[in-house]
Amino acid sequence: MSTSAVEVSGEKVKVMWDKRLIEIFYDICIKEILKGNRPGTHFTKGGWLKIMTNFEKETGKAYSQRQLKN
């Protein structure tokens, strides 16, 4: 399982990702790679924006690019 820190009432709290969230994130990343939004070893800014938007749309959880990268 993966973790990520989110801020709750000014405090950073680690969040556990379950298998479903990880699979959704992977699927979104793969789609962006196939669309050409990862021309080398990193996603483009537009690719990251689409990843963040689609992840929030599918899960209801809003994470920043930095949180998703970690």
Instruction: Convert the pLDDT of each residue in 17-68 to its tens digit.
Output: 999 999 999 999 999 999 999 999 999 999 999 999 999 999 999 999 988 8
Please check whether residue 11 lies inside any domain of the structure: no
Alpha-helical runs (H) found in 1-70 = 19-34, 45-59, 65-69
Please state the domain count of the chain: 1
Please check whether residue 34 lies inside any domain of the structure: yes
Q: Which has more confidence, 66 or 14?
A: 66
Backbone angles phi, psi at 62, to 5 degrees: -100, 115
Please check whether residue 44 lies inside any domain of the structure: yes
Please check whether residue 14 lies inside any domain of the structure: no
Q: pTM here? A: 0.80
Please check whether residue 4 lies inside any domain of the structure: no
Please check whether residue 2 lies inside any domain of the structure: no
| Residue range of the domain that includes 47 | 19-69
